[in-house]
């Protein structure tokens, strides 16, 4: 019964927004001139996929996409608030839009995404950025047609921020950036409350999509020529726990693996505390699941991990790595690392370096700790001074780069199947793509190869990418 109610709510909301989209399209048609939009995604892959949905909605409403922000009739920024410098960048860009608004008063400016879920941001926008026309958050992305129509009809600013999520509104008619690969949300929100992270406060609690909704979307994508799927969630390992009939992420992977047409399956992000043996076995058994795993460890110090509220230890993390490598010997593993967390000592930092040396990561996303207002870590005693944090960060990169170089050197001489993604900026007649283990490979080719999987013999290691020859 609950599932039927959810679907009814979703279907009803879809119909409401379709009606508003039709009204906006009618307005665009009657305007007598082409209306264009400019969309900018900032932050994580979740934001990038949300912006694909935004693009799909704008196209349905009759707007044409443009890369020229200064000439667009509608401008929308999908914001990120994971780090303070990301917010500063957004405010800087919003400030430059004042000039566009002065020269083209009819331009409609919209802001959405994680930043808009922060009360301090909304107050600042109301006080100092009154040229912004539409503001909405992460829980009501689907309402864009209604918000845009309201702004068009009233001529007044529209602010629609929800303090909590409603039922998941299913809508798969987004505009993909790539023809051959796509991202699919399996869940939204996060329940982990790491003390440095703002995401649970702006994305809400965990909620999973129904398994059949996910599988139907992937079947549709496969029928449209998609070869590679990336399953998205803030913590995909906890997928299914909120469903009336629980489903594990391992079970979902096995179902996706059966879908005809899909050649590769990726997923992110995984939390170590929820990575089960069943998931490791599913990765091992499913032929389409890529031999690549992104598994953030953040710090190698048990004391710091506890302060971060990560709920695992250095020993537990290394045990997971050894188990994964035993079952999937050719797997590549990437990670996230934070340096300079409050109260981090030299001994704590050396524990982090120890994990890097023992695991052998293929790549890593490294960060100097940045305060996020509203998180517990922002008010902790023992904030690390900038000079110490930078010194440790540089030492981390030195160790990491040597590790990454060693990992990639072992690829030289091997033949990898590479899915070609684009023409490379390395030079004329060069294309770039990724192997199943997520290694970036450049080799001679042309644009006709984009979207194809080709065998490439690796000839040279450039540390952060490989060079090869097509076989």
Q: Are 180 and 450 in contact (CB under 8 A)?
A: yes
Residues of the chain with CATH 3.40.50.12160: 11-160
Residues of the chain with CATH 3.30.750.200: 292-410
The DSSP symbol for 383 reads P
CA distance 394 to 387: 11
Tokens, residue 293: 């795993």
Given the structure tokens 């509104």, which residue do they identify? Answer: 169
Q: 441-462 b/e with 16+ CB inside 10 Å = b?
A: bbbbbeeebbbebbebebeebe
Given the structure tokens 């960048």, which residue do they identify? Answer: 89
Q: Angle at the Cα of 22 (from 16 to 28), degrees rounded to 5? A: 140
Tokens, residue 40: 């900018």
Query: Please, what CATH class does the domain formed by 292-410 belong to?
Result: alpha beta
The DSSP symbol for 449 reads G
Name which of 404, 408, 466, 468 is nearest 440 in CA terms.
Answer: 466
Question: Omega before 269 cis (within 30°)?
Answer: yes
Per-residue model confidence as pLDDT tens for the chain (471 residues): 334 434 456 678 888 899 999 999 999 999 989 999 999 998 888 888 989 999 999 999 999 999 999 999 999 999 988 777 778 888 999 999 999 999 999 999 999 999 999 988 999 999 999 999 999 999 899 999 999 999 999 999 999 998 877 777 776 567 888 899 999 999 999 999 999 998 888 888 899 999 999 999 999 999 999 999 999 999 999 999 989 998 999 999 999 999 999 999 999 999 999 999 999 999 999 999 999 999 999 999 999 999 999 999 999 999 999 999 999 999 999 999 999 999 999 999 999 999 999 999 999 999 999 888 889 999 999 999 999 999 999 999 999 999 999 999 999 999 999 999 999 887 789 999 999 999 999 999 999 999 999 999 999 999 999 999 999
Residues of the chain with CATH 3.30.750.210: 176-290
What are the start-end ranges of the E strands in 370-452? 415-423, 430-435, 440-444
* Burial class, 8, CB count within 10 angstroms (exposed 0-12 / middle 13-18 / buried 19+): exposed
Flag whether the pTM goes above 0.85. yes
Q: Find out if CATH 3.30.750.210 is the number for domain 176-290.
A: yes
**Which contiguous run of DSSP H or E holds residue 135?**
strand 134-136
CA distance 366 to 339: 8
CA distance 37 to 55: 9
Residues of the chain with CATH 2.40.50.140: 415-470
For 83, half-sphere exposure in the C-beta direction (CA atoms, 13 angstrom radius) is 12
Name which of 132, 57, 56 is nearest 94 in CA terms.
Answer: 132
Annotation: CATH topology of 11-160: Rossmann fold (3.40.50)
Q: Which residues contact 350 (CB under 8 A, 6 or more apart)?
A: none
What is the second-level CATH architecture of the domain 415-470? Answer: Beta Barrel (2.40)
Q: Are 333 and 295 in contact (CB under 8 A)?
A: yes
CA distance 388 to 372: 19
3-class secondary structure, 42: coil
What's the gap between Cα 401 and its chain centre? 24
């Amino acid at each position: 019964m609950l599932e039927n109610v959810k679907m009814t709510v979703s279907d009803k909301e879809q119909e409401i927004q379709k009606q508003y989209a039709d009204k906006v399209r009618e307005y665009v048609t009657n305007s007598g001139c082409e209306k264009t939009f400019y969309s900018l995604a900032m932050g994580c892959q979740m934001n990038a996929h949300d912006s694909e949905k935004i693009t799909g909605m704008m196209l349905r409403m009759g707007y044409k996409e443009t890369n020229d922000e200064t000439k667009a009739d509608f401008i929308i920024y999908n914001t990120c608030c994971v780090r303070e410098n990301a917010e500063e960048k957004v405010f800087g860009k919003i400030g430059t839009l004042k000039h566009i608004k002065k020269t083209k008063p009819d331009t409609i400016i919209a802001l959405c995404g994680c930043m808009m879920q922060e009360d301090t941001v909304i107050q600042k926008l109301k006080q100092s950025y009154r040229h912004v026309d539409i503001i909405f958050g992460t829980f009501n992305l689907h309402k864009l047609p209604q918000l845009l129509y309201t702004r068009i009809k009233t001529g007044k600013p529209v602010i629609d921020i929800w303090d909590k999520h409603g039922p998941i509104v299913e809508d798969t008619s987004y505009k993909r950036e790539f023809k051959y690969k796509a991202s699919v949300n399996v869940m939204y929100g996060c329940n982990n409350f790491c003390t440095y992270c703002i995401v649970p406060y702006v994305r809400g609690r965990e909620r999973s999509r129904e398994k059949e909704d996910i599988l139907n979307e992937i079947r549709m994508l496969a029928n449209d020529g998609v070869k590679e799927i990336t399953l998205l969630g803030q913590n995909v390992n906890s997928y299914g726990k909120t469903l009336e009939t629980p489903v594990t992420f391992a079970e979902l992977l096995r179902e996706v693996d059966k879908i005809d047409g899909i050649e590769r399956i990726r997923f992110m992000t995984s939390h170590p505390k929820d990575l089960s043996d069943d998931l490791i076995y599913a990765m091992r058994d499913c032929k389409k699941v890529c031999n690549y795993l992104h598994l953030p460890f953040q710090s190698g110090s048990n004391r710091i991990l506890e302060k971060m509220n990560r709920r695992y230890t250095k020993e537990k993390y290394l045990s997971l790595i050894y188990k994964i490598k035993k079952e999937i010997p050719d797997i590549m593993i990437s990670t996230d690392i934070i340096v300079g967390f409050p109260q981090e000592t030299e001994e704590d930092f050396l524990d982090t370096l120890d994990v890097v040396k023992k695991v052998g990561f293929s790549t890593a996303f490294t960060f100097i700790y940045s305060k996020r207002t509203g998180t517990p870590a922002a008010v902790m005693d023992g904030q690390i001074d900038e000079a110490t944090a930078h010194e440790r960060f540089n030492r981390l990169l030195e160790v990491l780069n040597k590790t990454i170089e060693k990992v990639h050197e072992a690829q030289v001489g091997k033949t990898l199947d590479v899915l070609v993604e684009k023409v490379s900026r390395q030079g004329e007649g060069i294309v770039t793509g990724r192997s199943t283990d997520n290694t970036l490979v450049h080799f001679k080719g042309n644009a006709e190869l984009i979207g194809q999987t080709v065998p490439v013999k690796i000839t040279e290691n450039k540390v952060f990418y490989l060079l090869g020859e097509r076989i």
